[in-house]
Chain A
Amino acid sequence: MSIEYNPKYMKHFYDPVWESFENGFWEGIKQRKLLFQKCAACATFSHPPRVRCAKCKGDRWEWVESSGRGRVYSWTVVRQEVHPAFRVPFEVILVEMDKEPGVRLVSNIIDCTAEELSFGLPVEVCFQEVTKGWALPMFRKVVA
């Protein structure tokens, strides 16, 4: 099931807002790129972004484009409507990225039924247009 939006209710949902130190991530999203924050000193990844590296306290960061590949770490299937903008049922997944240690991302899966979801399911990113202004990173199954 793919997430389905009810456009009537969308207007106050998007636009994402963010802190100054998160610019790199969201500027990447605008260009349909998944960029993660990587410490220039000790190469530790961090998501969501922060000001100083938790490991070495450095504040110089690189924004590294992800392969977009990951695995389903957990998920929930939403069956009871909580807001009319989102038509139920839909799945929310937590993806653990393959190449960026410790990085997880909350998103939707667009080509999977609830029954097909499993722990460790390989997925890859695909940008989906949510409003005219925004396409957001979502995921689909990796076909072997």
Chain B
Amino acid sequence: MSLKNKACIVGIGSTEFTRNAGRSEIHLAVDAVTAACVDAGLEIDQIDGMSSYGTAGIYAAELAPDIDVARSLGIPNLRYFGQTPWGGGACCGVVAQAAMAVSSGVANYVACYRSLKPASGTVRYGRPTAIPAEYRYSYYMPYGFASPTMWVAMLAKRWMHETGATREQLGHVALVCRENALRNPRAMFYGRPLTMEEYLHSPMSSEPFTLHDTCLENDGAVALIVTTPERARDLKQKPAFVTGVGFGTSRDSHSMTSFYRESIGLPECTEAAREVFGMAQLGPKDIDVAQFYDAFTATVPMQLETYGFCKYGEGGAFCDGGDRIRLGGELPINTSGGMLAEAYIHGMNMIAEGVRQVRGTSTSQVKGAENVLVTGGLGVPTSALVLTSGH
């Protein structure tokens, strides 16, 4: 028995992406779920499950807790609720959980969402305002090693040393994402082009990264509706089938500080790749377009390697000049602009873009796209999806 094609995404909804949404995470989540219901052609009260995630404990308003979102939507009962841990690593796993819930009959219509407001709120992901007294941080925080940018910089620096990848190659990832954002009116960087000159002369934040290597910080929420293929037939949109799901931690997994493995690359992605492609019975050569979790430029070529689009050490060259990863290339990536240039919604916006590619409605549409890979956050326990048109 397999989860392959037992569920599909039938609705996508989003708030605006902005520096200041002027409302809370719960409010943003309610707006995104409402938009997803409208998109799907579903009554709000038909939602009977919620699958969500965040970085804080389940009672924090920052998470936009499912009961608070359900209450504000007036939903009478949740037959399924679940949260997936590890921040952006969870994003595809949230959809996997929803697929398991609807395919097993635990719920009929599950709303998946992520809502966050680091740009105007109190919880900022790039800059800690207080260091939590948690055992896992005692090895790092006293040394000033205190942000995701630094943690991933440590991995990326070693990877660049081992593979010979260059700053220019990373720059092409940033430039291609920006090109895609220039076609996407929703994107934070819509109308804001980036040149290699600007990229290379931007000041370092944590070497080897500059501002242009790290994702946006913005307010917003994105929601998806997951149901069974049978129920999808009565709804408005062409369904995006959940053809493969995969989770992975690999051995000796820490949250963003997995520095103790034989290779400090991204072995959790290798594990998730095997699972997601195994279930989908597809491989890298079958993928028409990929949405790679791009909180940092370097993790795109690193994922090209770990998801099997090229060998270890070839990811940098794959991005060289940008031609292989831009629209019209052999593997267009991050067609909404990704989190480097559309918005940082912890990966949920990347999944919505995967759905658009299957529907044929992206602002950077890959002609005839059938099979889409979407990946979750890196350097943390991760997850991935293959979305297809179901054929």
A132 interface residue, CB < 8 Å from B? no
List residues of B (250-287) whose CB comes within 8 Å of A's CBs: 251-252, 257, 259-260, 262, 264
List residues of A (91-141) whose CB comes within 8 Å of B's CBs: 92, 94, 102-108, 114, 119, 130, 134, 136, 138
The CA-CA distance from A82 to B150 in the complex, in Å, is 10
Contact B150 A78 (CB under 8 A): yes
The CA-CA distance from A114 to B206 in the complex, in Å, is 12
Contacting A94 at CB < 8 Å: which of B134, B154, B252? B154
Contacting A16 at CB < 8 Å: which of B138, B145, B208, B257? B138
Of B55-63, B83-91, B125-133, B329-337, the stretch lying at the interface with chain A is: B125-133
The CA-CA distance from A13 to B147 in the complex, in Å, is 14
A64 interface residue, CB < 8 Å from B? no
B155 interface residue, CB < 8 Å from A? yes
Contact A74 B143 (CB under 8 A): no
A111 to chain B, nearest CB (A): 15
The CA-CA distance from A35 to B308 in the complex, in Å, is 39
Contact A78 B206 (CB under 8 A): yes
**Cβ of B259: which chain A residues have Cβ within 8 Å of it?**
74, 94, 104, 106
**Known A17-B133, A92-B154, A104-B259; 10 more pairs at CB < 8 Å:** A54-B251, A74-B157, A77-B206, A78-B206, A79-B207, A80-B204, A86-B144, A94-B259, A102-B262, A138-B143
Chain B 186-211, CB-CB to A under 8 Å as 1, else 0, gives 00000000000000000111111000
A7 interface residue, CB < 8 Å from B? no
**Cβ of B145: which chain A residues have Cβ within 8 Å of it?**
92, 106
Contact A80 B206 (CB under 8 A): yes
The CA-CA distance from A143 to B260 in the complex, in Å, is 27
**Cβ of B204: which chain A residues have Cβ within 8 Å of it?**
77, 79-80
Contacting B135 at CB < 8 Å: which of A17, A54, A77, A90? A17
Q: What 4 A-B pairs come out closest when comparing CB atoms?
A: A86-B144, A16-B138, A74-B158, A80-B205
Contact B154 A74 (CB under 8 A): yes
Contacting A106 at CB < 8 Å: which of B126, B140, B158? B140
Nearest A residue (CB) for B134: A17
Contact A48 B127 (CB under 8 A): no
Contacting A92 at CB < 8 Å: which of B128, B130, B144, B252? B144
Chain B 19-57, CB-CB to A under 8 Å as 1, else 0, gives 000000000000000000000000000000000000000
**Cβ of B129: which chain A residues have Cβ within 8 Å of it?**
83
Beyond A54-B251, A82-B126, A104-B260, whether A14 also contacts B142 by CB under 8 A is: yes
Chain B 238-258, CB-CB to A under 8 Å as 1, else 0, gives 000000000000011000010
The CA-CA distance from A104 to B261 in the complex, in Å, is 9
B146 interface residue, CB < 8 Å from A? yes
Contacting B128 at CB < 8 Å: which of A22, A48, A82, A102? A82
B206 to chain A, nearest CB (A): 5
B133 to chain A, nearest CB (A): 5
Nearest A residue (CB) for B126: A82
B161 interface residue, CB < 8 Å from A? yes
Contact B146 A82 (CB under 8 A): yes
**Cβ of B141: which chain A residues have Cβ within 8 Å of it?**
13
**Cβ of B153: which chain A residues have Cβ within 8 Å of it?**
76
Contact A75 B154 (CB under 8 A): yes
Can you list 16 contacts pairing A with B, beta carbon distance less than 8 Å? Answer: A3-B144, A14-B142, A22-B135, A26-B138, A74-B259, A76-B154, A77-B206, A79-B203, A79-B205, A79-B206, A80-B204, A82-B149, A105-B139, A114-B207, A136-B143, A138-B143
Contact B143 A106 (CB under 8 A): yes
Contact B257 A86 (CB under 8 A): no
The CA-CA distance from A80 to B148 in the complex, in Å, is 13
Contact B127 A13 (CB under 8 A): no
**Cβ of B206: which chain A residues have Cβ within 8 Å of it?**
76-80
Contact A3 B207 (CB under 8 A): no
Contact A85 B144 (CB under 8 A): yes
B93 to chain A, nearest CB (A): 24
B205 to chain A, nearest CB (A): 4
**Cβ of A107: which chain B residues have Cβ within 8 Å of it?**
143
B180 to chain A, nearest CB (A): 26
The CA-CA distance from A18 to B139 in the complex, in Å, is 10
Contacting B138 at CB < 8 Å: which of A17, A73, A75, A83? A17
B138 to chain A, nearest CB (A): 4
Contact A108 B133 (CB under 8 A): no
